[in-house]
Chains A and B, each alone.
Chain A
C-alpha cells in the first residue's frame, strides 16, 4: 500500500466516512418510514390484518413461501395471491377459495411439494386472508412481473 496514505489518515477516513454514509442512509430510511406509515392510512392495518400477520409469523409460512419475494423458495409467492384468486373482482369467492385451499392441505400428491395442515379456526383463516388482501394492495413497483408470482 502506498506511502502517501498514512495509517492515521486511513483510520480517519474510515470512521468519518462510516458516520457520513450511515447518516445519509438514516435520512433516506426516515423518509421511507414516513412513506410506509402513510401507506397504512389508505390501506389500514386493522386488528384482523395484524392478527393475520402474527399467524404468518407463528406458523413460519415464510419458511416455504416468499412474500414480496422474500422468505424461502419452496412454495408460491403469496404477496399477490389475493389477486391471483380474483379477490379484486370477487372478494367473497376469493376468500372462500383461499380458506378452502388452506384447509385441504396436504395433498400428499407424490412428487409435489407439500404444505402442512394447520389447525386454524374460521376466524384465524379469515385473519390470514385479510392479511394477504392487505399485502396485495401494497405498491411493490409492479413486482412481480406476472400475476403467477
Chain B
C-alpha cells in the first residue's frame, strides 16, 4: 500500500463480503421455495426473499466498486484521498441504509419496482451516499495526476448516480414506467457499470502484468467506446413487448447483438496483456480471477445474452427461466468476479501480508464459478422446456412449473456449491496463511 488513505477500502471490502454472504443465503431460500414452496414461514414469501437477494447483490457490488475506487484512485492520482474520514462516514451510512432496508423488507416496508424496492427515504439516503462518494473521489482526482483509468472510472461512477435518479420517476402510465425503469437497470449493467468494470480490470492488468500504461489506455478507450455505441441503443431489446412501437424490434435486435463485441474485446484485452506483459506477479489468484472475469462475462453477458436478444427469439423466451439463467451468469461473471478479483489483489496489501493462501483461493474460484455455471445450465434447460411447453404449446404456467422440478433441484445443488466456495474464499482471504513468505525480492510493483 503506497498511500495511507487507501486503507479505507478494507471497510468496504468487508462490508461487501458480508452482504455477498447474505445475498447467497437468500438466494438459497429462494431456490428452496421453488422446490418446497410451503417450507418457509409466512413472513418469508418468495417476493421478500427475492428482493433481499437482488438488493443485497446490487448493494454489495456497488460497495465493492466504492472500495475499489478508494483503493486505486490514490495510486492513479498519486495523492492521498481528499477525506478518508468522509469515506468512513459514507461507508457506515451506506451499510446502515442497507441493513435498515433488509429489516424493513422483513416487516413489509417496501415499495417500488424490481431491484428498486427501497422505500423513498432509503433511496434518498442512497443519493446522499453517492454524492459524498463522488465529491470525495472527484476532489482527489482533481488535485492529483489525471489518468485515463481514473477518468473512465469517474465517468462510470457519475453515470451510475445520474441514472439512479430515474428510480424516483414512477409514472402511473405503466408503459412509460417500464421504459424508464430500464434506464436504471439496462443502462447500468450494459452501460456505465461496464465502464467501471473495464477501468478496474485495466488497473489490475497494469499491476499484475506490468504492461505499458499507454497500451492499456488505448484498449480502454476502444472497449468503452464499443460498450456505449452498442449498449445505449441496445436498450431497445427491452422495448419489444412493453407497449412501445415495433421499430424497437429492429433497433434492439441489431444493437444488442453487437453488445457481444465489447465483451469479446475484454477477453482479447485481458489475455493479450498477460501475453505481452511478462511480469510474474506473486498474486496468481488475482490474475486467475481477472482472466476468469473476462471469460465468464463473455459467456454470461455475451453468449447467454445473444441467445435470447433477437426479437423473434425473445418473443418466446421473454420472462422465462432463460432470463434467470442469463441474469446469473452475466452478473456473476462481469460484476461479482471483478470485485472478487480486486479483493484478492488488494486484501493482502490492506492486511499488510504477502499474497497468501493462494491455492485455497484458486480452489474457491473453481468451486464458485463451477457452481454458478451449473446453476446456469440447470436454469437454461428449465427455460428451454418452459419455452416449449408454455410459449409454443400454450400450456398454463403452473402446469409447466410442475414439469420443471428436477431442474430446480439441480439449481439448488449448484447454489450449495456456490456457498461452499464462498466459505473457502473467505477463509483464504481472512485466515492468516501459514506460508506468509515475503514477496519475492525481484518483484517491484508496476507504476
Chain A interfacial positions (CB closer than 8 Å to B): 1, 5, 7, 10-11, 13-14, 17-18, 21-22, 24-25, 28-29, 31-33, 35-37, 39-40, 45, 49-50, 53, 57-58, 60-64, 66-77, 108-114, 116, 134-135, 138-141, 143-149
A50 to B235, CA, bound (A): 26
A142 to B26, CA, bound (A): 36
Q: In the complex, which residue of chain B has the Cβ closest to the Cβ of A62?
A: B114
Q: In the complex, which residue of chain A has the Cβ closest to the Cβ of B389?
A: A148
CB–CB A10/B50 < 8 A: no
For chain B residues 379-396, which have a beta carbon within 8 Å of chain A?
A: 390-392, 394-396
Interface string of B213-228 (1 = CB under 8 A from A): 0110111011011001
Query: Is B164 an interface position by the 8 A CB rule?
Result: no
CB–CB B225/A18 < 8 A: yes
A45 to B175, CA, bound (A): 11
CB–CB A36/B37 < 8 A: no
Chain B interfacial positions (CB closer than 8 Å to A): 33-34, 36-38, 42, 45-48, 50-51, 110-114, 117, 148, 170, 172-179, 181, 214-215, 217-219, 221-222, 224-225, 228-229, 232-233, 235-236, 238-249, 251, 315-316, 318-321, 323-324, 390-392, 394-398, 401
A68 to B318, CA, bound (A): 9
A58 to B36, CA, bound (A): 26
For A31, list chain B residues within 8 Å (CB).
245
Q: Closest CB of chain B to A28's CB: distance in Å?
A: 7
| A-B CB contacts (within 8 Å), total count | 197
Which 5 pairs, one residue from A and one from B, show the smallest C-beta to C-beta distance? A69-B319, A63-B47, A146-B394, A10-B221, A143-B241
Q: Closest CB of chain A to B49's CB: distance in Å?
A: 9
Q: Closest CB of chain B to A132's CB: distance in Å?
A: 11
Of the candidates A21, A36, A66, A141, which one forms a contact with B176 in the assembled complex, judged by CB atoms under 8 Å apart? A36
A39 to B179, CA, bound (A): 14
A149 to B112, CA, bound (A): 23
CB–CB A145/B394 < 8 A: yes
CB–CB A145/B37 < 8 A: no
Q: Closest CB of chain A to B200's CB: distance in Å?
A: 18
Of the candidates A5, A25, A63, which one forms a contact with B235 in the assembled complex, judged by CB atoms under 8 Å apart? A25
Q: A33-B176, A39-B175 are in contact. Are A17 and B228 (CB under 8 A)?
A: yes
A140 to B178, CA, bound (A): 13
CB–CB A138/B398 < 8 A: no
Q: In the complex, which residue of chain A has the Cβ closest to the Cβ of B319?
A: A69
CB–CB B251/A28 < 8 A: yes
CB–CB B219/A1 < 8 A: yes
For B236, list chain A residues within 8 Å (CB).
28
Q: In the complex, which residue of chain B has the Cβ closest to the Cβ of A12?
A: B221
Q: In the complex, which residue of chain A has the Cβ closest to the Cβ of B183?
A: A29
A40 to B34, CA, bound (A): 37
CB–CB B397/A77 < 8 A: yes
CB–CB A73/B319 < 8 A: yes
Q: Closest CB of chain A to B440's CB: distance in Å?
A: 30
CB–CB A73/B321 < 8 A: yes
CB–CB A110/B50 < 8 A: no
Sample of 15 A–B contacts (CB below 8 Å): A1-B218, A14-B224, A21-B228, A32-B239, A60-B110, A63-B47, A64-B47, A73-B321, A74-B46, A76-B396, A113-B34, A114-B46, A140-B242, A141-B240, A145-B316
Of the candidates B37, B178, B251, B398, which one forms a contact with A70 in the assembled complex, judged by CB atoms under 8 Å apart? B178
CB–CB B244/A35 < 8 A: yes
A28 to B235, CA, bound (A): 11
CB–CB A33/B179 < 8 A: yes
Q: A36-B176, A39-B173 are in contact. Are A18 and B228 (CB under 8 A)?
A: yes
CB–CB A146/B228 < 8 A: no
Beyond A64-B46, A139-B243, A148-B390, 10 additional contacts (C-beta under 8 Å) are A1-B218, A11-B148, A25-B233, A39-B243, A57-B112, A64-B50, A68-B243, A114-B38, A145-B315, A148-B397
For B174, list chain A residues within 8 Å (CB).
53, 67-68, 134-135, 138
CB–CB A36/B173 < 8 A: yes
A75 to B401, CA, bound (A): 9
For A139, list chain B residues within 8 Å (CB).
243
CB–CB B243/A112 < 8 A: no
Q: Closest CB of chain A to B50's CB: distance in Å?
A: 5
For A62, list chain B residues within 8 Å (CB).
113-114
For A141, list chain B residues within 8 Å (CB).
240-241, 246, 249
Q: In the complex, which residue of chain A has the Cβ closest to the Cβ of B172?
A: A50
Q: Closest CB of chain A to B209's CB: distance in Å?
A: 15
A139 to B175, CA, bound (A): 10
A111 to B112, CA, bound (A): 29
For B42, list chain A residues within 8 Å (CB).
116
A140 to B174, CA, bound (A): 12
CB–CB B111/A32 < 8 A: no
CB–CB A76/B397 < 8 A: yes
CB–CB B229/A18 < 8 A: yes
Q: A10-B218, A36-B243, A110-B38 are in contact. Are A148 and B394 (CB under 8 A)?
A: yes
For A45, list chain B residues within 8 Å (CB).
172-173
CB–CB B232/A149 < 8 A: no
